[in-house]
Structure 1
Amino acid sequence: MNRLFKLVVYIIVLTIIAIQFAETLSLFTGLITVSAGTVIGFASMNTLGNLIAGIIIIASKPFKVGDRIYFLNRIADVIDIKLIYTLLEDIDGVRISIPNQKLIKEEIQNFGSHKILRREIFITPGFDVDPRLVEKALIEAAEKFDNILQYPEPRVDVYEFLDNAVKYRLIVFINNSKIIPRFDYQLKKAVYYTCEDYKIDIRTPELIEMNEARFDQEPFNPRKSA
């Protein structure tokens, strides 16, 4: 009798567990189905949006393959335009795939086939020099040149913190590759003399090759020598 009672109890317990497991499994399966459907739905919407954006780009032609554009603070050449994404290559040679939907939402400046070039100058004054003074001096040096583009505008940033100095970078843009050697030399001279005027000591071990150059003592006028 006891054995029969225990057997009945076991059967009831197993039945309850089976029912609970079945309900849990069904709920779990349902959640997976809903989640998967949601993910697929969003993915389909993004794909469709990029596809429509690609058709708009191809039809309206805001830029074409070979153009150089300014997009999200980055200069890049258009390598290929596909229906879903556009392939760009920045001036450092890095290739980027941008979804077309993102491209048509952002402001783009198209330089066409006129290839603009970025030039950089580094200086490394000590930590005691006010960063605002450094920025003012470097921007003032850049403003002496007529062949520096105003858009993208010249800018200064802190490139690196060294052991005994701060490495600043002046970034400017030009659109004539033929003048690069002379332009780089003139820009270094302008930075050198402007830093002298502001009494910014740039004599550090990390200084660019400008520190080794010999400059004429006569006043420098980049516009006259351009």
Structure 2
Amino acid sequence: MEQAQTNAQRIYDQVLTFATLYGGRILLAILTLIIGLWVIGWITKLLSSVMTKRHVDRDVQPFLLSLVNAILRVLLLLSIASTLGVETTSFVAIIGAAGLAVGLALQGSLANFAGGVLILTFKPFRVGDLISAQGFTGNVEAIRIFDTILITLDNKTIILPNGPLSTASITNISTRGTIRVDQVYSVGSQNDLDATKASIQKAVDSCPYALKDRTHDILIAKLNANSRDYDVRVWTKSETYWDTYYYMLESIARQFAKDGIEAPKPKMFITNEE
């Protein structure tokens, strides 16, 4: 019993000594962490507001905010280490060595970082552009340090690594402001040529997304045994590409039905050999 009390007293004395020597530092480090994180958040919001007011390129804003946030957090970590009595010079050397090891282990992430810098420098696309890349099509929502966020046309979020994105082919649909919607329609060869073209023209003229100052093409693309293929090319704004695409499909289907334009009918030729 006495041995247990002695051990308890010894533990109590050690805890009391530790609290006396380091309690203040630990409490100060915790306060520094809480206040530091709040200050970093405040600085980030302030910087975002300033960049918005000064019309800084919105493609660059997320990149700069992420970079500043990371640097401030590293400085906060060094400050906390100094508060706890850790030699910052040794700590910086440890961070440098750890950074080298992590860098070697995360070469792909470094490639993504370099890709992000290239994208922001050469600007193959901007925030808000409609692009096709890596097998996905969507609007660019943000360009971050390591990745780019796309919002697809069906409202899915796609995160593309900047490394492959900066070195692969990218189709920027929004660059020119206008785009051509190409579609092919097949009708039976029994339909009159002029009547078919007139029916398609009515559908094009009724499209609210078709540009009025551009010429839209209705061309015979191919003559088949029992059908004809028509290339229909309608110019529209980049942001209304899919609206135009689906409108034309429905409009032409309705117009063909209204004008009596028939679909291709298979033909069978039977010969009687005696």
Same fold (TM over 0.5): no
TM-score by length of 1: 0.41
Larger radius of gyration: 2
Larger proportion of helix: 2
TM-score by length of 2: 0.35
